[in-house]
Amino acid sequence: MGRAKLIASIAAALVAAVVLVSGCAQTVTGAATTPGESTPAPTLETLSQGVPGAPPEAPPATPSDGPLVPDVIADECLLTATELTALLGVSVQPAQVTTAPNDAIKVPSCVATPTAGPAMPAGVVNVYAIRGSTPAEYVRSRGGRDLAGVGEAARVVRTGSATVLRVARGSFLITISALRGSPNDDVWRAAGNAALGRLPG
């Protein structure tokens, strides 16, 4: 009788151990995240995807948390389809203000998609005001290489899968993101000046 009780106790302990290990493994799997993952800058600089099965986390950073102030003009589509086609090296439809797929912070942008193939963004245009400094100061403080002959300050910077022109004039910062093609400086300059020419005021 004593031996039967001992065997039963050992069996119960083994079952409890299996349940505990299974629970720990499930918790680790569900909570896995990528170390150092963060939300990139706006205008495709903010595209990200969540981790399936991950527990609720703090909301992603939004433009209100930083220097960028979005939605400062009614229509951010400052480039025509012809101008965007020349910039991106691929024929695009007229751009529309929408939220880019997988945009974690859901900021409306002017998005251009190709006329053929998957309807994924090929180019994105955004217009911002800057909190705490001027747009020109923001452009100069954010790296990249200078682009002469465009606005008060202009720089081209590589961010992830996009090449971005940041150009400042007065109280506005324009970002033009190219996910297709490799625009040269003359093409960037033409796009930047065309966009500046359509700013209000």
Count CA within 13 A, CB hemisphere, residue 61: 15
Neighbouring residues of 117: CB distance < 8 A, sequence distance ≥ 6:
none
The single-letter code of the amino acid at 116 is: A
Closest CA to 106 of 17, 182, 46: 46
d(CA 130, CA 118): 34
| pLDDT of 126 higher than 80 | yes
Its pTM stands at 0.68
What is the per-residue pLDDT for 108?
A: 83
What is the per-residue pLDDT for 69?
A: 95
Neighbouring residues of 108: CB distance < 8 A, sequence distance ≥ 6:
70, 71, 76, 97, 98, 99
Contact between residue 32 and residue 54 where contact means Cβ atoms under 8 Å apart: yes
| pLDDT of 31 higher than 80 | no
> What stretches of the chain show up as alpha helix (H) in DSSP?
2-30, 81-88, 135-140, 185-196
Name the token pair of 118: 């998957």
pLDDT tens digit sequence for 152-182: 999 999 988 899 999 999 999 999 999 988 8
| pLDDT of 41 higher than 90 | no
> What are the structural domains, with CATH classification, of the chain?
63-196 (3.40.1000)
What is the per-residue pLDDT for 104?
A: 55
Contact between residue 163 and residue 156 where contact means Cβ atoms under 8 Å apart: yes
Neighbouring residues of 25: CB distance < 8 A, sequence distance ≥ 6:
none
When comparing pLDDT for 16 and 117, which is higher? Answer: 117
